Amino acid sequence: MAESGDNRSLEQVRADIDAIDREIQQLISRRARCAQRVADIKLAEVQAAREAGEAETEVVYYRPEREAQVLKRIIDRNEGPLEGETVAHIFREIMSSCLALEKPLQVAFLGPEGTFTQAAAIKHFGHAALCVPQGTIDSVFAQVESGECNYGVVPVENSTEGMVSHTLDNFMDSGLKISGEVELAIAHHLLVASHTGKDDITRICAHQQALAQCRNWLDGHWPHVEREAVSSNGEAARMALEIPGVAAIAGDMAADLYGLEKLAENIEDYADNTTRFLVIGREEVPPSGRDKTSIIVSSRNKPGALFTLLDPFRKAGVSLTRIDTRPSRTEKWAYVFFIEFEGHLQDENIAAIVAELEEQSILLKPLGSYPRAVL
């Protein structure tokens, strides 16, 4: 092994690396064969259930709770010198390829290509999943509901690509479940085509939220250049490639996709700009041990209604991670609450809270329990 103080030559160390790569490759192949065996077992179980006359079920190849456990364990046991997250990303890709051997996944995302939602889909499912762009959040839901796609990825919080409230509204009418969450650090760059010089720029295009998130930087560096809000950062990048004088604000995905150059990197006014996305699917996810649950709940419009809804959480000592309000579409001046908290619907304390809320509310819809983001 390459230890400090070791005086082997470059050739010798490279010979070590070659031998290690061979072993890693053999182990990855062995792992992939295990995944194939897992797929056979899953199929046999579903066939046996069908023969026993149990309800018609689909084979569920993708297991988010298991993936979260595998990735968490990798981070926890990591001893360096690589960062735990770096190693986990490598395993993310290995699992993604293993799953594709079992069954290739189709994942709908709010497009177009090159958006942060696509980056979130790839971060969550790895590069082996086939990511299919959709024009609207509604059509991401529709693709998963119809079975055209296995899963969907939509923005939910502080997004540069879509309306959060629109995602929440979709959940009110949909039978889909949340099967995961993705957090993505958003880094914006000023991008131009290789034939566009700094002095050629006459217009800077981006999604309106990206323009807003870079306002101070733009005021400082490009105070006299026109800014134009377009439908997405991906679209802005496409324009930068095709229209002379246009520069785009967008992320790495868009820069790579359209082969654009970065005139300036990380131009967002606030570092730690994170967007959160939800993964939607048709199945409920079993507990991973580190889960979150989302519900929609609506109460009668009377004083103290919100307090009554939240009190069971306080009594049980369960942390809320998010609460949003949307106007009810059926009753004037009534509201529905979108509440997220730590724990799984199968946990006893969570089941008790939900039972209590059911008594207090006029509507309670569990949207699913899912593993907390690991990466």
Ligand X SMILES: O=C(O)C(=O)C[C@]1(C(=O)O)C=C[C@@H](O)C=C1
**Min dist. Cβ of residue 99 to ligand X (A):** 4
Among 88, 98, 246, 248, binds ligand X (CB under 6 A): 98
Instruction: Please choose, out of 65-73, 148-156, 190-198, 212-220, the segment that lies near ligand X by the rule CB under 6 A.
Output: 65-73
Nearest-angstrom CA–CA distance, 120 and 151: 13
Q: Is the dihedral of CA 120, 122, 124, 130 positive or negative?
A: positive
Residue nearest to ligand X (CB): 98
Measuring CA to CA, how many Å separate 70 from each of 63, 133, 268?
A: 11, 28, 33
**Min dist. Cβ of residue 105 to ligand X (A):** 9
Binding mask 4-43 for ligand X (x = CB under 6 A): -------------------------------x--x-----
Residue 89 near ligand X by CB under 6 A? no
DSSP 85-101: HHHHHHHHHHHHHHHHH
By CB under 6 A, how many residues form the interface with ligand X?
11
* 163 closest CA partner among 225, 89, 228, 110: 110
Among 68, 71, 88, 95, binds ligand X (CB under 6 A): 95
Residues 6+ apart with CB under 8 A from 22: none
**Min dist. Cβ of residue 62 to ligand X (A):** 4
Residue 102 near ligand X by CB under 6 A? yes
107 vs 206 by CB, closer to ligand X: 107
Residue listed under structure tokens 């919080």: 157
Residue listed under structure tokens 């958003």: 186
**Min dist. Cβ of residue 245 to ligand X (A):** 46
Residue 370 near ligand X by CB under 6 A? no
Residue 362 near ligand X by CB under 6 A? no
What angle (nearest 5°) sits at the alpha carbon of residue 64, between those of residues 60 and 66?
95
Residue 66 near ligand X by CB under 6 A? yes
**Min dist. Cβ of residue 60 to ligand X (A):** 9
114 vs 126 by CB, closer to ligand X: 126
Among 43, 70, 306, 318, binds ligand X (CB under 6 A): 70
102 vs 181 by CB, closer to ligand X: 102
Pairing label, strands 106-110, 151-157: parallel
Among 99, 164, 210, 237, binds ligand X (CB under 6 A): 99
Helix 10-51 crosses helix 84-102 at what angle (to 10 degrees)? 50
113: its two tokens = 């290509």
**Min dist. Cβ of residue 95 to ligand X (A):** 4
**Min dist. Cβ of residue 119 to ligand X (A):** 20
38 vs 316 by CB, closer to ligand X: 38
Measuring CA to CA, how many Å separate 37 from each of 7, 30, 32, 100, 287?
A: 44, 11, 9, 13, 23
Alpha carbon 51 to its chain's center: 37
DSSP 64-122: HHHHHHHHHHHHHH--SSS-HHHHHHHHHHHHHHHHHHH---EEEEESSTTSHHHHHHH
98 vs 255 by CB, closer to ligand X: 98
Measuring CA to CA, how many Å separate 38 from each of 35, 71, 102, 286, 375?
A: 5, 18, 8, 17, 24
**Min dist. Cβ of residue 70 to ligand X (A):** 6
Write out the binding residues for ligand X, residues 265-284 only, by CB under 6 A.
none
Residue 63 near ligand X by CB under 6 A? yes
Write out the binding residues for ligand X, residues 150-169 only, by CB under 6 A.
none
Residue 125 near ligand X by CB under 6 A? no
Residue listed under structure tokens 């290995």: 94
**Min dist. Cβ of residue 36 to ligand X (A):** 9
Nearest-angstrom CA–CA distance, 355 and 272: 38
Alpha carbon 285 to its chain's center: 16
| Interface with ligand X (CB under 6 A) | 35, 38, 62-63, 66-67, 70, 95, 98-99, 102
